[in-house]
């Protein structure tokens, strides 16, 4: 795979791994160092000056690189004995399975459906976050007795036409069984396992593939609580200095730190995308329209439940995924019902790349040639909402935006109304 194509503060990373690993007795009696997966995600982001997107229900956990153009899946796991590999979860399919789409499929048909959906999610999120898919990687902190080391390998899609069935021992067989609880398969690069009961796809992380970095020696402190008291708690009590709240990262508060906006009309059931407004504003009557005129609906309920979230009709900075410079945005139209960017095409191109698999900038700002978007287009993409979040590090009115999965808006409104 070669050297990293992004900044990585290896000294800081290794020191943090040693320090936290030394406190493993706070959590475990094992001789293996313990690291919570959230710690590894946050540490990787800190060591790369990246962005943490692990809570955005994405297949990637972090964005790194000069323009945040590299997607990274962050993992931590142990290697059993001398096996040299571990099967780890790379994607859940709970929502699709919950709709009954997997229920009657044979093993062969199910794996084909899973592989296609896996690739679609990678493509969609690469478009969402404006990623260079060829540079995306997995970053894994592998734990062993007395040490840990980093393993990295390319983050690759499944090669559909190279899929072959395997038996439970990982040996290629001529055909799938009719219906099994765990389906094993491979393509031309990796081995996988799909669990029917959990609706989870696992990938085999093999240390023979990719790159393994130098081991990080970890000395587990057997009296971790005393160490914790001496280094942190005791020092804090003796100094009588309160912890600076600015150094703490709190959970975002719904309605205060972020809102979720639907990309469809909330006035109809079932969900629909209006033919001549919202995403289809370019299809409205009246003056000559161009493909690319669009806006994100801001329902009245958002103004009612989150009245101070947006700065009224004033303009504000809006950061699109993967972009270092913001676009100017504002709430427009009667009742401030439309979120638009200026120029409007910057927001539109980002949206259309994700929900329109045939999107071409060649057709942008010309007379529209396609049919209006429908809710089926959103459902197929896996997203029907966006999250607009205030940037915590900014003193000005600055926000960032990204896509959210199907039904996120309803869950958000239910959360706010439940708090009331």
Residue 382 has pLDDT above 90, yes or no: no
The total of other beta-carbon atoms located within 10 Å of residue 236's CB is 13
- Helix or strand or coil: residue 391? coil
DSSP state of 250: P
CA distance 58 to 99: 20
- Residues 211-228 have a mean pLDDT of 89
CA distance 59 to 157: 12
Residue 22 has pLDDT above 80, yes or no: yes
- Residues 11-20 have a mean pLDDT of 95
What is the structure's pLDDT at 384?
93
- Stronger pLDDT, 358 or 295, i.e. the higher one: 295
Strand partners, 144: 147
Domain boundaries along the sequence of the chain: 10-217, 258-419
Residue 236 has pLDDT above 80, yes or no: no
CA distance 238 to 220: 26
H/E element, 204: strand 200-206
CA distance 146 to 268: 59
Which range, of 174-183, 237-246, 333-342, averages the lowest pLDDT? 237-246
Q: Report how far apart, in Å, the C-alpha atoms of 100 and of each of 20, 184, 268, 359 are.
A: 43, 21, 24, 30
| 77 pLDDT tier (thresholds 50, 70, 90) | very high
DSSP state of 272: B
What is the structure's pLDDT at 299?
94
What is the structure's pLDDT at 250?
55
Convert the pLDDT of each residue in 138-163 to its tens digit. Answer: 999 999 999 999 999 999 999 999 99
Which range, of 169-178, 223-232, 292-301, 406-415, averages the lowest pLDDT? 223-232
| 374 pLDDT tier (thresholds 50, 70, 90) | very high
Q: Does the N-terminal peptide bond of residue 202 adopt cis geometry, omega within 30 degrees of 0?
A: no
- Stronger pLDDT, 162 or 252, i.e. the higher one: 162
The answer to whether the CB of 61 falls within 8 A of the CB of 53 is yes
Convert the pLDDT of each residue in 86-114 to its tens digit. Answer: 999 999 998 888 888 888 899 999 999 99
CA distance 12 to 24: 19
**pTM tops 0.85:** no
Average pLDDT, the chain: 87
Residues above pLDDT 70, as percent of the chain: 90
What is the structure's pLDDT at 287?
66
What is the structure's pLDDT at 166?
94
- Residues 363-390 have a mean pLDDT of 85
Convert the pLDDT of each residue in 261-299 to its tens digit. Answer: 999 999 888 899 999 989 988 888 766 667 777 899 999
- Residues 31-38 have a mean pLDDT of 92
């Amino acid at each position: 795979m070669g050297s990293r194509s992004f900044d990585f503060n290896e000294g800081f990373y290794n020191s943090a791994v040693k320090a936290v690993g030394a406190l493993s007795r706070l959590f475990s009696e094992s001789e293996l160092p313990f690291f919570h997966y959230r710690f590894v995600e946050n540490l990787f982001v800190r060591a790369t000056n990246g962005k943490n997107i692990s809570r955005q229900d994405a297949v990637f956990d972090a964005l790194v690189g000069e323009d945040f153009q590299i997607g990274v899946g962050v993992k931590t796991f142990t290697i059993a004995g001398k096996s040299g590999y571990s099967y780890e979860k790379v994607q859940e399919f709970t929502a699709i399975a919950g709709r009954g789409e997997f229920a009657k499929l044979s093993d062969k048909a199910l794996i084909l459906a899973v592989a296609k959906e896996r690739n679609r999610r990678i493509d969609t999120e690469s478009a969402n976050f404006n990623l260079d898919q060829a540079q995306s990687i997995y970053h894994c902190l592998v734990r062993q007795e007395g040490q840990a080391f980093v393993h990295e390998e390319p983050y690759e899609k499944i090669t559909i036409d190279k899929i072959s069935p395997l038996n439970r021992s990982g040996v290629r067989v001529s055909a799938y069984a009719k219906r099994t609880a765990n389906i094993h398969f491979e393509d031309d690069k990796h081995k996988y396992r799909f669990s029917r009961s959990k609706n989870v796809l696992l990938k085999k992380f093999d240390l023979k593939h990719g790159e393994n970095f130098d081991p990080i020696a970890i000395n587990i402190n057997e009296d971790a609580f005393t160490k914790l008291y001496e280094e942190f708690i005791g020092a804090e009590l003796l100094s009588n200095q309160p912890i600076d709240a600015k150094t703490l990262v709190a959970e975002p508060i719904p309605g205060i730190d972020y809102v979720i906006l639907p990309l469809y009309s909330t006035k109809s059931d079932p969900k629909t995308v209006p033919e001549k407004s919202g995403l289809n504003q370019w299809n409205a009557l009246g003056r000559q329209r161009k493909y690319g005129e669009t806006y994100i609906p801001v329902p009245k309920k958002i103004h009612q439940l989150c009245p101070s979230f947006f700065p009224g009709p004033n303009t504000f900075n809006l950061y699109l995924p993967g972009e270092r410079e913001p676009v100017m945005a504002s709430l427009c139209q009667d009742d401030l019902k439309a979120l638009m960017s200026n120029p409007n095409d910057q927001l539109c191109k980002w949206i259309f790349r994700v929900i329109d698999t045939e999107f071409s900038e060649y057709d942008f700002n010309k007379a529209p040639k396609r049919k209006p978007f429908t809710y089926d287009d959103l459902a197929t993409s896996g997203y029907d909402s966006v999250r607009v979040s205030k940037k915590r590090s900014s003193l000005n009115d600055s926000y960032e935006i990204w896509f959210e999965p199907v039904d996120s808006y309803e869950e958000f409104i239910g959360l706010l109304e439940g708090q009331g």
